Amino acid sequence: MKQTIIDIKDIKRNFPLGSETVYVLKGVDLQIDKGDYVALMGPSGSGKSTLMNLLGCLDTPTSGTYILNGKDVSKMEDDELATIRNREIGFVFQTFNLLPRTTALDNVALPMVYAGFNKTERNERATEVLKQVGLGDRMDHHPNQLSGGQRQRVAVARALVNKPSIILADEPTGNLDSKTSVEIMNLFDEIHANGNTVILVTHEEDIAAHAHRIIRLRDGVIESDERIK
């Protein structure tokens, strides 16, 4: 039987704008199972970035509930959310978000510092995931010594290092050329095949086609939810 890892019920997110209120998410229900491979799509203003922030515990809803891996995160305080993010979610961003004066190894090991692992454990695990993403020979390089694709591989390794429940990737190929984009998406396919739950946020149909399920948002609600594989 499949295990539900994300269970969202009637999530709404409003933002005050002067004397007005902007209703961005208008009652979203969503369940994602462990091992799912999901693409989250929608035009600008659809609410997909707001939903991504909620899924990633970077924000909390105005109302509704969000159960992540059995924990109700919808009403947690900032410090509790930070702990959940560190343990449960591996982030991959379009802009890589690497520390420029830090080696690939230390960039990857950084989430383990916050999780309380010692230096030996951090270096062993960071070495393991860098080899997994094909960068075993680049561990001592700084970001400015790496190509865009290699920097994104470092970012993917960093997302994997704490063995999170979910890999959440926001436009992960947005800054890459077509050939490198294919390589990075093949890497995500491998990560999913290894048992990880992967959620991609993208506006590109060819990137979304790697997923097994495509969820489209429009005007703050889910317009369609289609399993394609």
Q: What DSSP element (H or E) covers 1?
A: none
**What is the pLDDT, as a whole number, of residue 55?**
95
**What is the pLDDT, as a whole number, of residue 170?**
92
**What is the pLDDT, as a whole number, of residue 5?**
96
Give the long-range contacts of residues 172-175, CB within 8 A, separation 24 or more: 172/92, 172/93, 172/94, 172/200, 172/202, 172/207, 173/202, 173/204, 173/207, 174/94, 175/94, 175/95, 175/96, 175/148
Q: What is the domain range of residue 169? A: 36-60+76-227
**What is the pLDDT, as a whole number, of residue 53?**
93
Residue 103 lies in a domain: yes
Given a cut of 50, the residues of the chain with pLDDT beneath it are none
**What is the pLDDT, as a whole number, of residue 114?**
87
Alpha carbon distances (Å) from 202 to 22, 91, 139: 23, 14, 29
Residue 120 lies in a domain: yes
Residue 72 burial (CB < 10 Å; 0-12/13-18/19+)?
exposed
**What is the pLDDT, as a whole number, of residue 184?**
93
Residue 122 lies in a domain: yes
Residue 9 lies in a domain: no
Residue 167 lies in a domain: yes
The set of residues, in sequence order, having a beta carbon less than 8 Å from that of 29 and lying 6+ positions away, is: 8, 9, 10, 11, 222
The set of residues, in sequence order, having a beta carbon less than 8 Å from that of 4 and lying 6+ positions away, is: 31, 32, 33, 34, 67
Residue 189 lies in a domain: yes
Q: Which amino acid makes up residue 1?
A: M
Q: Cβ(158)–Cβ(110) under 8 Å?
A: yes
- CATH code at 110? 3.40.50.300
This prediction has a pTM of: 0.91
**What is the pLDDT, as a whole number, of residue 94?**
85
**What is the pLDDT, as a whole number, of residue 44?**
87
Residue 132 lies in a domain: yes
Residue 71 lies in a domain: no
Q: From the CB of residue 43, how many other CB atoms can be counted at a distance below 10 Å?
A: 12
Number of domains observed in the structure of the chain: 1
- Measured distance CA(83)–CA(140) in Å, rounded: 28
